[in-house]
Chains A and B, each alone.
Chain A
């Protein structure tokens, strides 16, 4: 099977994941070509933040209302940046296409342009892999990257069949401590457990390749973004609403104000 791996990497973490995936595909006997997506102007990290920081106020509103968040993800207009000429502008000869990127609050501007620019996407099966600082939180992380990508691929006649999101353990603005806290809060695990070389990372890389080669699932239809939060080793608590991020407030209120006894620990299905 001919596979194209297109990746956009600024700090090198996505390129590393692209290499690991390519080795996995080649070990299975598939031929792999690469497309390194590069912007014409070198992206400094502050301009990237400038393009998306207007979104952060809406993000705050999105915590309060699911409906608004869905509306916003669907309608948010992602700016584009010019790309250097592509080596493979027409992807019609490939059986499967893998696209990789980081997450810049939402879909990166370079990928927004790339998904509009490439030709021959009709009826293609596409996998999308990403590296970002934090754990694979469903809201604001998985959903903000893969849903716009799935929408844009669907518009081009392609189908998103597989997704992979792993932690790069690095944040350009040096705010990793926030993601470490969120990882403990939501998953009860250190963020290292979701990194590229963790057990979770290895298992999910294999799953990603399996699903992409099989090409039967439809990420957009499944509505669960399943593997990223329900995969190996992740408790099912992450499927709850974003307000459960604040469950520690409720727990503290129950325990210290209402003086309720601590409930006995119950293992969820995925932990058993």
Chain B
């Protein structure tokens, strides 16, 4: 609905509103007169107490936080993120291979079924362990979906994926991955994909369909991180992917619900 069911306001409406307001325009009173209602007295008392406390303690806490705690936290979170990056770098290829096999054999083999069912849980565990440090390290603003999207940038930088942001708004951000080191090797693609000419030895895995790895595991992982940062946002279902024959993989970060 274009106007959300509300009538647009005209200048005459505003004039009437202001005219009505001018007749009973609020005026300044003495502070003592202002405190005549019990609510205002209670509010003023609470405010005064908190004001004194904040004026005394907040500068002290801020100095301690900025001079002592922040450098300590920075060091700690940087080390944790470094560990996460090394872990990801080492385990990415084997996990992707396992994931592709699990997707292919999930109906037949027990281990594949187990892996297919529980791998998202493991990725969620990763987010739970490293999420706070990544949030601190990447300086993520949880109200801004583009800022949350720095996580994908970090994953890409760690794994050697190339991509660009084509949309960067606080409510919607779109990232296109133009080069993936796994596409064509671990993750097969159909003939004619944009990246095909750049891979010399595609490997045997080309015989199976691996698009589900990105659309299910990878997008699910990103979704876990988004949900951890701000449940208002989500990753849209991934439709355009290099393994499907597109020029790029497109990840859309967006608001989940209407305002």
- The residues of A with any CB-CB pair to B shorter than 8 Å are 11-12, 15-16, 18-19, 22-23, 26, 32-36, 45-46, 49-50, 53-54, 56-58, 60-61, 68, 77, 80, 83-89, 116-117, 119, 122, 155-157, 169-176
The stretch of B3-11, B88-96, B122-130, B241-249 that contacts the partner chain:
B3-11
The residue from A26, A36, A60 contacting B9, defined by CB atoms under 8 A apart: A36
Provide a sorted-by-A list of 12 A–B residue pairs whose CB atoms are within 8 angstroms.
Answer: A15-B17, A16-B21, A32-B11, A33-B9, A46-B47, A57-B58, A84-B6, A85-B259, A87-B9, A156-B169, A170-B26, A171-B28
Taken together as a complex, chains A and B put the C-alpha atoms of A86 and B4 apart, in Å, by 6
Chain B residues with CB under 8 Å of A57's CB are 54-59, 62
Distance (whole angstroms) from the CB of A51 to the closest CB of chain B: 12
Given A22-B11, A46-B39, A85-B5: A60 in contact with B55 (beta carbons within 8 A): yes
- Counting residue pairs across A and B whose Cβ atoms lie within 8 Å, the total is 116
Chain A residues with CB under 8 Å of B50's CB are 53-54
Binary contact readout B18-33 vs A (1 if CB under 8 angstroms, 0 otherwise): 1001100111111101
Q: Say whether A174 contacts B8, CB under 8 Å.
A: no
The residue from B5, B62, B170 contacting A61, defined by CB atoms under 8 A apart: B62
Taken together as a complex, chains A and B put the C-alpha atoms of A157 and B40 apart, in Å, by 42
- The residues of B with any CB-CB pair to A shorter than 8 Å are 3-11, 13-15, 17-18, 21-22, 25-31, 33-34, 39-40, 43, 47, 50-51, 54-59, 62-63, 66, 143-144, 169-171, 259
Closest B residue to A86 using CB positions:
B4
Q: Say whether B31 contacts A174, CB under 8 Å.
A: yes
Distance (whole angstroms) from the CB of B58 to the closest CB of chain A: 2
Q: Say whether A11 contacts B26, CB under 8 Å.
A: yes
Distance (whole angstroms) from the CB of B5 to the closest CB of chain A: 7
The residue from A18, A56, A85, A116 contacting B170, defined by CB atoms under 8 A apart: A116
Q: Say whether B47 contacts A87, CB under 8 Å.
A: no
Chain A residues with CB under 8 Å of B143's CB are 77, 80, 116
Q: Say whether A155 contacts B170, CB under 8 Å.
A: yes
Chain A residues with CB under 8 Å of B17's CB are 15
